[in-house]
Amino acid sequence: MTIEEIIKPENLAYGKTKVLTDAPMHYCPGCSHGTVHKILAEVIDDLGIQEQTIGVTPVGCSVLLYNYLDVDWVEAAHGRAPAVATGIKRVNPDMHVFAYQGDGDLAAIGTAEIIHACNRGDNITVIFINNGIYGMTGGQMAPTTLVGMKTATTPHGRQVDLNGYPFKVSEMMAQLPGTCYVTRQAVHTPGAVRQARKALKKAFEKSAAKKGLSFVEIVATCSSGWKLLPVESNKWMAENMIPFYPLGDIKDSE
């Protein structure tokens, strides 16, 4: 078989989506961000909306996403991505607008912004990466840090009497009337990746249909922040994070 025959469309098993740029990713080994970026790019490509998509990311590891997805971007201040995405969507109602945020960003300094965006029911998609820690800024405790989990600011583990309880963001957002779709997924196994991809596509479709705000949480790893090797990080997440943050759809309104 010649090269020309091999590269025919009918013989193509997989091709890199054009939405992903050729920039090498700079995430730590084992980080979940790269996998989420890949399936997000594939969903945008599948839906044929590359030229009609605007992304918003703020401070933290999320900000690197600008380098890797070839869509239009707006940078927001720390925690303010849902508010910025709301403004963009309201002046460009036919565009597909999404925010991409980490847990330190969305669940801490940006709590007010995400609560009010979900309550308004803005027709945007919010992607929430929950690795239970502040990744880029030094591994400090985040609102999502598990009880007993060691971080740079809780070296003996998170204590309820001192630090309070972990924040289950998706469950809270599901209670607000403006959310049409709230789901929690992960990308630590091939099966989980497929489910997360389906969830992202559904989220974009529902927001495009003006059903309200779609909220997709991804339970993720942070090998550097957790001080674990990549394989160990996936195992630790499966044994500790996912039992507390169970995967699956939490709300799916028609």
Domain spans in the chain, listed from the N-terminal domain onward: 27-252
Instruction: Just give the CATH number of 27-252.
Output: 3.40.50.970
Going from the C-alpha of 221 to that of each of 30, 139, 174, the distances in angstroms are 7, 12, 24
Strand, helix or coil for residue 105: helix
Q: What is the pTM of this model?
A: 0.94
* CB-CB contact of 247 with 168 (8 Å): no
What are 12-28's pLDDT values in tens digits?
A: 677 789 999 999 998 99
What are 172-216's pLDDT values in tens digits?
A: 999 999 999 999 999 999 999 999 999 999 999 999 999 999 999
Q: If pLDDT is split at 50, 70 and 90, which confidence band does 1 have?
A: low
Strand, helix or coil for residue 199: helix
pLDDT at 8 over 80: no
DSSP string, 119-170: HHT-S-EEEEEE-SB-TTTTS-B-TTPPBT---SS-TT-B-HHHH-----HH
pLDDT of residue 5: 66
Read off the tokens for 229: 């090797």
